[in-house]
Structure 1
Amino acid sequence: MVFSPFVKQMFVATTTQLVAVSMGASLGYPVVLIQQFQSYETNIKTDLDTITWIASMHGVAGIGATLMPTLMQWKGRKYTFIGSTLLLLLGWLLAFVAQDTLTVLLSAIFHGLSSNCITIVNLVTVSEMLAPRYRSASMVLLNINQTIGQVIVAALGSIFNWQIVALIMCGPAVVALLMSFLWPESPSWLAFKGRFEESEKAFVWLRGSNDDANKELKAMLAAQKESRVKVSKKTKLQEAWTAMKRRDFYIPSLYMFLILLNFYISGALPLFIYSKDILEMATGASEIAVFGYLVMVSTLFIGSLISLILIRYFKTKTVLSCCVGCILSLFSCSLVSYLQSNGIVRRDSYLFLYPYLGYMVFNNSGFNPITFALPIDLMPVKHRGMGGALFNVLTCLLYVVTVKPFLYIVASFSLSGTLFFFATSCLLCTVLIWIYVPETKGRTLQEIEDYYNYGSFDRFRFTDDVEVKMPIVKGDVVE
């Protein structure tokens, strides 16, 4: 049976989306662990320090994933995807058999390592293997499916023991692992490695051979052949230093830092992971805190559906502007908390709950999905080794810095002061992003690279320069 290029691209995309569900569940899993451990429903005893380590271990362990971009540049996207999925499965299996805090922390280490690996591999795979008109929506859908994974694990955690939840969440990862053996390697990576004939076959298998596809294929091959004309005699360290001084590396790297900082400094992760504790502080009732957490998880799904609509009809930076809603919600939460601490609003008032839920909706209505899709989209293919490593280091450090000390900071500076700091910092970053970061929706990877080097998305290429005149390979099977 012969399948259309669209079906083949969606097959690859579905594989990444399935593992994103399981990986997203691993991000929300610490919330289930914390709630069940604090309720004394298990034999595992924990204190505040252990709880904060469980919550922040994703960021600590994720530092190991810094090597993943180098492995991706060396072994390709397909096999690193398979390896990352196996690590995720190992994390779930360790959680299933855990009988003490050490095994729980070891499971969290594998979850942290694999989730950071999968985040990079998924985004790069979708970015390189799907047509531009599908790329943005599919990259946003990765984050939406991560959110769906968080919703599923929260729902399961309210019904089942945390070990049963771990076993159930192995399912999507197992299916994704089996599917990944059937799709080809990334055409962009094959061209980067100088394997041009294989690149053409993989590209045609994925994208077909219509005029638009042929034009993009020739531009990609031409650019990679240009970069291989001069054989470098520099050492790896010298090559890395030279690459870091190039405009098409350091400019997107600065954009990457700004975009990620904007998300983490808004308090997105601690406000989710410690949501039960925060709501209990704000309402004074543990019962409403549990109810508020379940409602909050539901709002994540609502926000995800909204983001699908937004990314379909609006530009990337416009969708990212949903963080303005997060900023207003944070200021409102801070104000309510301040009024409660001064006795103007009752301590047991539920008023805090409304802007808090609004924050969660806005966070997932474009802000969260675009934050992790846009930095990878901005980084040229040839720099995705170092660029991916930088992405991982930044996400891990920012994760730990915002999650691990959060409860201690709230105890020292109050909840209202912490939320006010989050809102102010996010506002400043948002203004800078809107002014400086370019729009990438609908742009090919080569056009984005040309923007950094030539100041324009549309660089005219002469067909008699380095442009390949080889016929486009026909066929439906990648050899």
Structure 2
Amino acid sequence: MTISPLARQFMIAGSTHLAALSAGGVIAYPSVLLQQLQANDTIVQLDLHNRSWIGSVHGIAGIPSILLPLLMQYQGRKCAFVLSCLSIITGWVFTFFAQSITTLIIGECFHGLGTNGLLAVSFLSVSEMVQPKYRNTCLVLYGTVQALGISSVGILGRYLHWRTVSIIMACPVLIALPIGCFWPQSPSWLACKGKFDECQRIFEKLRGTDEESTKELKAIVNSQKDILTIRQNSMQEFFQTISRRDFYMPALHTFILINVLYWGGGMPVIIYSTDMMIKSSGRPHPQVKLIMDCTLFIGYNIATVLVRYCSSKKVMIFSMSGSAVFMTSAAIVTYLQSIGEVAKDSDIAVYSLLGFVVFLSLGSSCIGFSIASEIMPVKHRGIGGCLYVVYTCVLHSFSLKAYPYLCVYIDVWGVFLIYAVYKTFSIFFIWMYVPETRNRMLHEIEQFYNCGHFKDNIIDESVNVPFIRTEKNIE
């Protein structure tokens, strides 16, 4: 049976989406544990210290997954994807059989290790193996499916025991694992290794032999041949890499893009929304929490359609702008409550948080990750992938671990203000400095970071980047 190139691409992207469904469940699972273990008389008992670790250990535990991008650079994308899936499955097994808080935390550690590695592996692999016109849609669809996992766990946790939820959410990644075993190697990775004949064979299976694909294959091979002519030892290569403009600028942009989800308030609202509503109005508002869970999934679906027809960066800016307005509103209302100008039981801040989630789901929480996965050049994706994982793990844990303590020291209105300020800063930075990657081949994006503009644009059409000066001798 002959499999079309498009079907091969969708098989690769589809397996990452199945794994993303379980990964989404992993993200929201701590909120289910916190609610059920505090509300019910169970054999697993929580105190304040353990509750904070349940919410944040996912990120810290993911730090060892920085080895996956290195493995991905030396052994290929398939091996790293399979290991990520196995780690997530192991986490679900531990949580299902947990009889103590220690076992639950161990399960969350495996979840963090697998999910943080999966994010980097999936995004980098899809960005290399799916053709540009479908790439953005597939990357954002990863976030959409992950949002389905988040929403599903939030809803299932209202009606089912947390052990039952763990069984259900383990199923998608169990299906993704055998599919991942049949992945081809990435043509870009094969070119990096100097395996140009195999690169051409796999590329033609994945993309076909049309004019556009042939042009991209030629660009990939030629760029890697130029790199392979320069032989250096590992330390020389490392120091040269981190000092290159096409590494440190994408690294900075990646940090800003990823941090939008964390210190822009997205992840804390997903995990601590019930606590935020109690602090803002004195009541948990379970109906509003249910609406938030459903809104995340619906909004991600809308975002997937929007990026198919609109600029990814503009969709992200629109989403961030709306969420910044509502987070600012929540900060103002809760501050007025703290000084007695607004009633303590007012629901205005609660509905501001709901508005924040509506705009958050429209792209600001997922498009940043997809753009970040595209802007790092293939030749730097070993070190760059490690940075991607470190950013995700550290920011996840730091933002979630800090939230309860920030509420104690600066009150909830101060926390909301921090999120609103970072969101506003990020809007300006991304609009001014981050390139639009839609329908751009990876080597074109690399050229942007070397030149300060895309080769087929005049300088005035590119983003105004003072950090990237156009060299006069580059045509």
CA distance in 1, matches of 2:335, 2:433: 34
Residue 248 of structure 1 pairs with residue 281 of structure 2: no
Q: Which amino acid aligns with 2:449?
A: Y
Equivalent in 342, 346, 354 of residue 343 of structure 2: 346
Native 8 Å contact 1:450 1:459 kept in 2: no
Q: What residue number does 2:39 align with?
A: 39
Residues 165-222 of structure 1, C-alpha deviation per residue, up to 9 Å, x if partnerless? 1111111001111111222111111111111111111111111111111111111111
Residues 355-380 of structure 1, C-alpha deviation per residue, up to 9 Å, x if partnerless? 11111111110101111111111000
Q: How many pairs were matched up?
A: 456
Residue 331 of structure 1 pairs with residue 331 of structure 2: no
Per-residue deviation, 1:349: 2.1
Q: Which stretches in structure 2 are left out of the alignment for 5+ residues?
A: 458-475
Secondary structure of the 2:106 match is helix
Secondary structure of the 2:387 match is helix
CA distance in 2, matches of 1:252, 1:160: 43
Structure-to-structure mapping, 1:109-128, within 5 angstroms: 109-128=109-128
Q: What residue number does 2:397 align with?
A: 400
Residue 367 of structure 1 pairs with residue 378 of structure 2: no
Equivalent in 411, 431, 436 of residue 433 of structure 2: 436
CA distance in 2, matches of 1:41, 1:434: 50
CA distance in 1, matches of 2:165, 2:323: 31
CA distance in 1, matches of 2:45, 2:328: 36
CA distance in 2, matches of 1:160, 1:229: 59
Structure-to-structure mapping, 1:189-268, within 5 angstroms: 189-232=189-232, 234=233, 236-268=234-266
Structure-to-structure mapping, 1:2-21, within 5 angstroms: 2-21=2-21
Q: Which amino acid aligns with 1:111?
A: H
Q: Which amino acid aligns with 2:196?
A: F
CA distance in 2, matches of 1:268, 1:185: 34
Per-residue deviation, 1:456: 3.9
Residue 157 of structure 1 pairs with residue 154 of structure 2: no
Of 307-316 and 208-217, deviating more is: 307-316
CA distance in 1, matches of 2:154, 2:429: 35
Residues 45-72 of structure 1, C-alpha deviation per residue, up to 9 Å, x if partnerless? 1011111111001111011111111110
Structure-to-structure mapping, 1:103-114, within 5 angstroms: 103-114=103-114
Q: Which amino acid aligns with 1:340?
A: Q
Q: Which amino acid aligns with 1:438?
A: P
Secondary structure of the 2:348 match is coil
Q: What residue number does 2:451 align with?
A: 454
CA distance in 2, matches of 1:41, 1:447: 58
CA distance in 2, matches of 1:175, 1:395: 25
Native 8 Å contact 2:20 2:145 kept in 1: yes
Q: What residue number does 1:296 align with?
A: 292
Q: 1:247 to 1:349 in 2, by over 3 A?
A: same
Q: What residue number does 2:315 align with?
A: 319
Equivalent in 386, 389, 393 of residue 389 of structure 1: 386
Secondary structure of the 1:404 match is helix
Per-residue deviation, 1:18: 0.4
Equivalent in 409, 413, 419 of residue 412 of structure 1: 409
Native 8 Å contact 2:13 2:138 kept in 1: yes
Q: What residue number does 1:469 align with?
A: none
Secondary structure of the 2:455 match is coil
Q: Which amino acid aligns with 1:241?
A: F
CA distance in 2, matches of 1:68, 1:459: 35
Q: Which amino acid aligns with 2:373?
A: I
Equivalent in 345, 354, 358 of residue 357 of structure 1: 354
Q: What residue number does 1:140 align with?
A: 140
Secondary structure of the 2:386 match is helix
CA distance in 1, matches of 2:277, 2:74: 46
Residues 287-313 of structure 1, C-alpha deviation per residue, up to 9 Å, x if partnerless? x2x222212111111211221122122
Native 8 Å contact 1:447 1:459 kept in 2: no
Residues 144-173 of structure 1, C-alpha deviation per residue, up to 9 Å, x if partnerless? 111111011112111111111111111100
Native 8 Å contact 2:69 2:80 kept in 1: no
Q: What residue number does 1:467 align with?
A: none
CA distance in 1, matches of 2:12, 2:100: 38
CA distance in 1, matches of 2:294, 2:236: 50
CA distance in 2, matches of 1:243, 1:417: 40
Q: 1:161 to 1:339 in 2, by over 3 A?
A: same
Per-residue deviation, 1:114: 0.4
Per-residue deviation, 1:41: 4.3
Q: Which stretches in structure 1 are left out of the alignment for 5+ residues?
A: 461-479
CA distance in 2, matches of 1:97, 1:37: 15
CA distance in 2, matches of 1:30, 1:100: 15
Equivalent in 292, 305, 309 of residue 305 of structure 2: 309
Per-residue deviation, 1:459: 7.7
